[in-house]
């Protein structure tokens, strides 16, 4: 019961696939209803998973590069229902030599990974602060600490997500809203398809992971449920690595 989310509604950006889907499934299994927000649709098997649990999963179309659209769509959503949990999961990566990195790519990464995250924290955090209860979980990364390689926009955005998490914690913790972050390690999703396909890089990375394997979306389910639950009421401003031990190496 200490991880029970019955009666709660969560918004998970990018919650229909990849790591977001792992967290969506965790929240559904813990009793929450979930709204996923992304450009794409929800796959049928995720809908089936929710109905088997007697829960609902609803898709909202949202392009996080367009903040006017974000404000409109979230405004409409909040007009109809209360959202207790926000997981800022949607994100993108662009890889290129820093010296050639196009500013348009840098801006796009920062837009989705940072600016939209801050705006969503404001839009959903406001009503949470009014109610004196809410859970915000941002998705950081190993490059919230290190610099990565040929991903300057991504590293800058994820470093900033960790700092933003702490900044909001300092203002909102005493008002009943928990703001924390999960920092996944190397996870087997579409974002890493090229790295996974590169046998040499893949072996190099796996050898550095104490757990001996890449993470999966399911590896994020438990930590997301925990941070969304009353069990984490006294956890504020934490950046929790879920990395198979990578940071410890
Ligand atoms: N995979 C890893 O190793 C790893 C490690 C650390 C952190 N992370 C972070 O974890 C999060 C999820 O990554 P993932 O590995 O699951 O990546 P992914 O498989 O590429 O999925 C990315 C998700 O973000 C959504 N998204 C991308 N651009 C969007 C936009 N403009 N508007 C709305 N939604 C958008 C996508 O949905 P649509 O395409 O349907 O819009 C999709 O659901 C990201 O923040 C990523 O930076 C990943």
Taking only the tens place, the pLDDT of each residue in 15-36 is 999 999 999 999 999 999 999 9
CATH number for position 135 = 3.40.50.720
Asked if the structure places residue 123 within a domain, the reply is yes
**What's 187's DSSP letter?**
B
Asked if the structure places residue 153 within a domain, the reply is yes
Our count of domains for the chain comes to 1
- Smallest CA separation from ligand 1 atom 47, residue: 91
pLDDT band at 111 (very low <50, low <70, confident <90, very high): very high
Ligand 1 atom with the smallest distance to the CA of 112 is: 31
Single pTM value for the model: 0.98
Query: How many whole angstroms separate alpha carbon 135 and alpha carbon 211?
Result: 29
The answer to whether 39 touches 62, Cβ cutoff 8 Å, is yes
The answer to whether 85 touches 27, Cβ cutoff 8 Å, is yes
pLDDT of residue 1: 75
Question: Which residues does the annotation mark as catalytic?
Answer: 154
- Smallest CA separation from ligand 1 atom 5, residue: 184
Nearest to 242 by CA among 86, 94, 218, 50: 218
What residues contact 204, with CB distance under 8 A and at least 6 apart? none
Ligand 1 atom with the smallest distance to the CA of 16 is: 43
Q: Where in the sequence is the domain holding 40, given as residue range(s)?
A: 9-243
Asked if the structure places residue 124 within a domain, the reply is yes
Ligand 1 atom with the smallest distance to the CA of 188 is: 1
Q: Which residues line ligand 1 (CB under 6 A)?
A: 13-14, 16-20, 38-40, 62-65, 89-92, 112, 139, 141, 184, 186-187, 189-192
In this structure, what are the phi and psi dihedrals at residue 177, rounded to the nearest 5 degrees? -110, 120
Whole-number Å distance, alpha carbon 243 to ligand 1 midpoint, is: 17
Asked if the structure places residue 248 within a domain, the reply is no
Asked if the structure places residue 1 within a domain, the reply is no
What residues contact 32, with CB distance under 8 A and at least 6 apart? 5, 6, 8, 9, 10, 55, 84, 85, 228
Query: Mind listing the pLDDT tens digit for each residue in 60-69?
Result: 999 999 999 9
């Amino acid at each position: 019961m200490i991880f029970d989310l019955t009666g709660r509604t969560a918004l998970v950006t990018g919650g229909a696939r990849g790591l977001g889907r792992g967290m969506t499934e965790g929240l559904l299994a813990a009793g929450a209803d979930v709204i996923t927000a992304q450009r794409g649709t929800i796959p049928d098997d995720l809908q089936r998973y929710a109905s088997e649990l007697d829960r609902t999963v609803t898709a909202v179309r949202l392009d996080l590069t367009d903040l006017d659209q974000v404000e409109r769509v979230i405004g409409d959503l909040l007009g109809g229902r209360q959202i207790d949990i926000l997981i800022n999961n949607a994100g993108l990566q662009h890889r290129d030599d820093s010296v050639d990195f196009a500013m348009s790519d840098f801006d796009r990464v920062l837009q989705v990974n940072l600016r939209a995250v801050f705006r969503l924290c404001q839009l959903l955090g406001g009503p949470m602060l009014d109610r004196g209860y809410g859970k915000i979980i941002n998705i950081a990364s190993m490059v919230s600490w290190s610099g990565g390689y040929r991903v300057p926009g991504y590293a800058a955005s994820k470093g900033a997500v960790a700092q933003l998490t702490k900044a909001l914690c300092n203002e909102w913790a005493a008002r009943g809203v928990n703001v924390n972050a999960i920092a996944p390690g190397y996870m087997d999703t579409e974002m890493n398809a090229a790295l996974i396909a590169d046998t040499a890089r893949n072996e190099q990375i796996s050898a550095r992971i104490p757990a001996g394997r890449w993470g999966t979306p399911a590896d994020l389910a438990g930590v997301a449920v925990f941070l969304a639950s009353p069990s984490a009421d006294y956890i504020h401003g934490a950046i929790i690595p879920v990395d198979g031990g990578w940071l410890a190496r």
